[in-house]
């Protein structure tokens, strides 16, 4: 297996602080490509993302490759919104993608954050905004102020009380305040990207047993772990599917053990 000594990182938002240290343990130095990542989609109302998170991350990685002339590129993409099942719970999703322009191989890590620093509030004055500001850990976490939830913002990346007060005074009545989700403005998000980068580095360190490309690891699971009481297949994973995204080799390994009858459709319908 050969890993490059340099890879391009497409970011305007300081993500190298989170991604460079784990990759340096593999001998890879990141070259930051200052591409306009906001053109691929923003968290605010200006530019909606086109396509899936993975497509957006791949487009950014390829833009970083084009800007640097390097063979390998990295980019991340995040999405934030309400949790699909749990009421009043936000959900953050993050994708970190490594792309090899010569082979077309992607090596991808994904994670979900059920405690993202993702919140919003309507306020006319700094006093009205204070409970929200305390909750989101302002000014370490920056704030975006907009006339309403669907309008382009007055200002992003606000990190001091003076600017916040001046921005709120531009509106007649209440403004829409929200956490700035860009990585360099949101320490919680930066820490999630850092843990994802550690996992990506671990994955890249394992070569495919067949073609020796980097990035062998868990790709999916198959459900069906049998109930410990009655042997009925449950929805819990019964097999781990490890594989290589370069040559397509996979290895389906059974998980040991049985499922708690609480997960069984027969014992606990």
Which residues of the chain form contacts with Zn ion (CB under 5 A)?
208, 210-211, 213, 227, 229-230, 232, 244, 246-247, 249, 261, 264, 266-267
The smaller minimum CB distance to Zn ion, of residues 168 and 227, is found at 227
Give 75: exposed, middle or buried? Use CB within 10 Å, 0-12, 13-18, 19+: buried
The smaller minimum CB distance to Zn ion, of residues 49 and 242, is found at 242
Give 161: exposed, middle or buried? Use CB within 10 Å, 0-12, 13-18, 19+: middle
Residues paired with 146 in a beta bridge: 176
Q: State the nearest-atom distance from the C-beta of 210 to Zn ion, in Å.
A: 5
* Cβ–Cβ < 8 Å for 64, 74: yes
The smaller minimum CB distance to Zn ion, of residues 143 and 244, is found at 244
Q: State the nearest-atom distance from the C-beta of 236 to Zn ion, in Å.
A: 12
The smaller minimum CB distance to Zn ion, of residues 221 and 232, is found at 232
The smaller minimum CB distance to Zn ion, of residues 22 and 217, is found at 217
Q: State the nearest-atom distance from the C-beta of 3 to Zn ion, in Å.
A: 15
Gap between the Cα atoms of 34 and 169, Å rounded: 33
Q: State the nearest-atom distance from the C-beta of 78 to Zn ion, in Å.
A: 29
* Omega cis (within 30) before 15: no
Neighbours of 106 (CB within 10 A): 16
Structure-token pair, residue 116: 């993202």
The smaller minimum CB distance to Zn ion, of residues 219 and 267, is found at 267
Q: State the nearest-atom distance from the C-beta of 91 to Zn ion, in Å.
A: 31
Q: State the nearest-atom distance from the C-beta of 253 to Zn ion, in Å.
A: 17
- Long-range CB pairs of 251-255 (<8 Å, 24+ gap) are 252/222, 255/225
């Amino acid at each position: 297996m050969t890993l490059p000594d340099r890879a391009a990182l497409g970011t305007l938002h300081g993500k190298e602080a989170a991604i460079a240290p784990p990759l340096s343990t593999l001998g890879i130095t990141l070259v930051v490509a200052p591409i306009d990542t906001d053109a691929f989609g923003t968290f605010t109302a200006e530019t909606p993302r086109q396509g899936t998170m993975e497509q957006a991350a791949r487009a950014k990685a390829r833009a970083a490759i084009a800007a640097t002339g390097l063979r390998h590129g990295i980019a991340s993409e995040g999405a934030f919104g309400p949790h699909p099942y749990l009421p009043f719970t936000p959900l953050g999703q993050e994708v970190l993608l490594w792309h090899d322009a010569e082979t077309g191989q992607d090596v991808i890590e994904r994670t979900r954050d059920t405690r993202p620093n993702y919140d919003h509030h309507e306020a006319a004055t700094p006093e009205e905004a204070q409970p929200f500001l305390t909750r989101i850990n302002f000014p370490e976490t920056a704030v975006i102020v907009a006339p309403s939830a669907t309008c382009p913002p007055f200002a992003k990346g606000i990190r001091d009380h003076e600017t916040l007060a001046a921005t709120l005074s531009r509106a007649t009545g209440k403004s829409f305040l929200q956490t700035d989700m860009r990585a360099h403005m949101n320490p919680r998000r930066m820490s999630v990207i850092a843990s994802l980068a550690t996992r990506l580095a671990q994955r890249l360190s394992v070569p495919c047993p067949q073609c020796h490309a980097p990035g062998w690891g868990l790709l999916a699971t198959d459900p069906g772990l049998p109930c410990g009481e009655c042997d009925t297949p449950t929805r819990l994973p019964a097999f781990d599917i490890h594989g290589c995204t370069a040559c397509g080799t996979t290895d389906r390994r059974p998980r040991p053990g049985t499922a708690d009858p609480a997960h069984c459709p027969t014992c606990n319908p």
